Amino acid sequence: MSQLIKKIYYHDTDCGGVVYYANYLRYMEEARTEYMLERGIDLKALGEKGIMFVVKNVSIDYKAPARYADTLTISSSITKIKNVSLEFTQEIKRAGKLLVSAQTVLVCINSDFTPCQIPPELQKVIQA
C-alpha cells in the first residue's frame, strides 16, 4: 500500500460547493504514479522506452463529498495482476472517513497503442 496526501483548492471544486466528480480521477492518477515510483518504477522512463499504462476501465463510488481546503489521503494498492493488465484499488479519505473508493484497470501498451505483456521485471516488482 501507498499513500498520497492531497490538499483541495478552489480549482478542484464546483459551484455545488464540493469537489467536482471527475477531479478524483486526477488524484488517483497522481497516487498511482507515486505508488509506482516508491517501488522504483518510473512511468516517464518507461514511456520513453515505448511502454505505457493506459486506463481500461474505472468503477468509482462517491460516498461523501470533499470540500474546499480539505486534506485528503489517497491509498493505493494493486489488487490484481494479469499478463497485460493490472487493477488498482484506491480509497480517498478525509480524517479517516471514506469519501471515495475505486477500482481502475490499466493495460500495458506499446507505442502503437497495442496491448503488450507487462515486462517480467515490472511484474516482479509489482507483485512484491
Report, in Å, the least distance between residue 16 CB and a second copy.
Answer: 7
Phi, psi torsion values for 58, nearest 5 degrees = -135, 135
Q: Where are the beta strands (DSSP E) in the chain?
A: 2-7, 52-62, 71-81, 85-94, 97-109
105: its cell numbers:
484497470
The residues annotated as belonging to the active site are 14
Task: Give the ranges where the chain is alpha helix by DSSP (H).
Answer: 23-38, 43-48, 120-127
Q: Is 46 in the site for a second copy (CB under 8 A)?
A: no
Report, in Å, the least distance between residue 126 CB and a second copy.
Answer: 19
Nearer to a second copy, 30 or 121 (CB): 30
Binding site for a second copy (CB under 8 A): 7, 9-11, 13-18, 20-23, 25-26, 29-30, 33, 42-44, 47, 52, 54-62, 65, 67-69, 113
